[in-house]
Structure 1
């Protein structure tokens, strides 16, 4: 079987697993009382079940289980990070999220759980930002620096994804787009023999894309279930794992000879492009809360998606706009590695940014006024 077909199979299994198991997770959430009841900062008006992360984890783990038995993809388990420990880390953070979905844990407890899961993935799983490449030199990180730095970046990514999980389908869609961009970039390197065709970033991103896509039909507006912290923290952890392995998997000499000096920096630039939407939202939220004398983890209703609703965008259109921004930045960064003609790509990217700004700032008008935000109705 061709490697690309194996990745398609892995993605399809992940999608089918999360799609089929989500109704079961919804039933368990309702029976157990793990539901999101409307609060002042929320945009939903009725109680919505949580625990979508359980279905996401099962779909993701099932995809990796199948991949370990495929002719090509088993190499990801032999030459890359310790995948069983990556799955265990995912189970731990999903478990912390399950408790939060039911009992609403305090922020310090959740942070401790995030650090624990990230530390297990980094130390036992071997997912470490050991070195990265900039034009003209290789920056190597010693063990004493690589471990805490990777843990810190992982926790940052987890919270960035968690912060944007405020509208139906937003976190799952943005993660699928980001993981898809990582997959395209990594597969391009594999086709040029710069990465092994069974490199860990390819497997992780293929499974993550499928998992999120399978969950979206249940989670897109109007959602019948939320992924909850059990899901948002899980996909943040796995997206961070993909970013770390993508950044450190390429051979710098082969990479430089094959692609030149500009793509040498892309392993650093692409993760930033993929995660810029959640990271910007996280940064603005922290600055806003600290400026008002609040905890950085204090909830509010001033995230990017809330601002789009205030501008007059409907719930669904706000989500689609953020999808467009995420795809523009993520795949725009990948385009510089995949295609030649950087000035043409830069011009197209600038045009896309201008279009996104225009559509974001000028919502569809109705008698000279923007439509009021759409309040989520009962599923």
Structure 2
């Protein structure tokens, strides 16, 4: 565990220092786009935070390659190089889009290319699904399922990037829960090592989010942009695939540590990776259906995402972000508690997780549907006599969120 803590702290420190440097350089050279119609923020803000996060991730992986405890992770260097190469490609495309707004077809093509590199050259694929031991015998079926899974998660995470601290905080919570799960599951099945690719990726992403969040918290001075959001989605998908695609459900089904709930234990390896990104996936699915029903591209931007709807309900920007944090923690911790209940054989096994989920849902619904501080709705300005145009403030104040 000490090695993972060191990895988190190293990634966080490098990401924080570089985020501050990127912010200062972006302001100095005016490397920020104008305000878009769908944006919530009112002051042009740099979007190149993904560069700092990527370098922080690279630093952590570079150190891990020299660490004897992580030698098992680097036993297949081709897989690691494919993962890092695909991540670099996504970051480059994201940076170009953050600066010049690339066509969505170019971005989508790059996403499929990056996912293909990971699945084909890195051989990080979903060979098995923990659904009664079902195995995907066709290599092409496994390849296709893997590529589409990575692309969907990338876009799901990117779609919720609309408020200060939203993506960084949600991914921090999701990866923390997934790290705890991946660490415990290999402990419970009696594995000889707890150092796995899934745990390493989760730890690195925890550190990247911790290091970036201080500059991204409301009022944000720096956004992660598409580069950061797509990178987080890609690595989170790879972390989940590395454990679900190579995890034999029989190891749980035949393990006495799971008491009477072997079947639930076999489902959790695929259930938990989904629920930790449930909100991004929900927002992504709703956006695709909404846009295609109107005859538009599923990637055409609009102002109907879940965080926009939260603002329209009257929530303040910070309240909306905190509510998203609460929902993410609720759904992910509920499944984790169900898993812990099966391994420790608590009274009622997984029912404790179910009870926690029911109580949490009730509490989250109350704070979601009943905003504590409604945003003031500005009345339309009364017509005035023609006069000189007001001059903008030479030093406009930052808005709370975008």
80-89 or 341-350, larger mean C-alpha shift: 80-89
Matched, 1:221 2:231: no
Which residue pairs with 1:350 in the alignment?
358
Is residue 81–residue 200 contact of structure 1 (8 Å, CA) maintained in 2? no
Q: CA deviation at 1:71?
A: 2.2
Is residue 285–residue 303 contact of structure 1 (8 Å, CA) maintained in 2? yes
Which residue pairs with 2:46 in the alignment?
49
Aligned with 2:266 (options 264, 267, 275) = 264
51-60 or 325-334, larger mean C-alpha shift: 325-334
Q: 1:182 to 1:263 in 2, by over 3 A?
A: same
* Mapping of residues 195-274 of structure 1, within 5 Å: 195=191, 196-258=193-255, 259=258, 260-274=262-276
Q: CA RMSD in A?
A: 1.9
Aligned with 2:119 (options 111, 118, 122) = 122
Matched, 1:153 2:175: no
SS at match of 2:301: coil
Which residue pairs with 1:183 in the alignment?
179
SS at match of 1:49: coil
* Mapping of residues 267-346 of structure 1, within 5 Å: 267-339=269-341, 340=346, 341-346=349-354
Distance in 2 between the 1:242 and 1:81 partners? Answer: 16
Distance in 1 between the 2:249 and 2:290 partners? Answer: 40
Distance in 1 between the 2:36 and 2:226 partners? Answer: 16
Which residue pairs with 2:399 in the alignment?
377
SS at match of 1:134: coil
Is residue 126–residue 246 contact of structure 2 (8 Å, CA) maintained in 1? no
Which residue pairs with 2:393 in the alignment?
none
Unaligned stretches of 5+ residues in structure 1: none
Distance in 2 between the 1:198 and 1:80 partners? Answer: 15
Distance in 2 between the 1:304 and 1:71 partners? Answer: 44
Aligned residues: 371
Which residue pairs with 2:390 in the alignment?
none
Write the deviation string for residues 162-219 of structure 1: whole angstroms up to 9, x where unpaired. Answer: 1000001111111111111211111111222455411110111011111111100011
Distance in 2 between the 1:238 and 1:173 partners? Answer: 16
Distance in 2 between the 1:279 and 1:87 partners? Answer: 24
- Structure 1 or 2, whichever has the larger Rg, is 2
Write the deviation string for residues 317-346 of structure 1: whole angstroms up to 9, x where unpaired. Answer: 100100110111112112211223211221
Distance in 2 between the 1:373 and 1:34 partners? Answer: 32
Which residue pairs with 2:385 in the alignment?
none
Write the deviation string for residues 130-156 of structure 1: whole angstroms up to 9, x where unpaired. Answer: 112123x33234211111110111000
Distance in 2 between the 1:72 and 1:255 partners? Answer: 25
Which residue pairs with 2:368 in the alignment?
360
Distance in 2 between the 1:331 and 1:221 partners? Answer: 25
Q: 1:99 to 1:31 in 2, by over 3 A?
A: farther
Q: 1:154 to 1:319 in 2, by over 3 A?
A: same
SS at match of 1:294: coil
Query: Scaled by the length of structure 1, what TM-score is found?
Result: 0.93
Distance in 2 between the 1:231 and 1:358 partners? Answer: 32
Q: CA deviation at 1:81?
A: 7.2
Give the structure with the higher percent strand: 1
Is residue 79–residue 121 contact of structure 2 (8 Å, CA) maintained in 1? yes
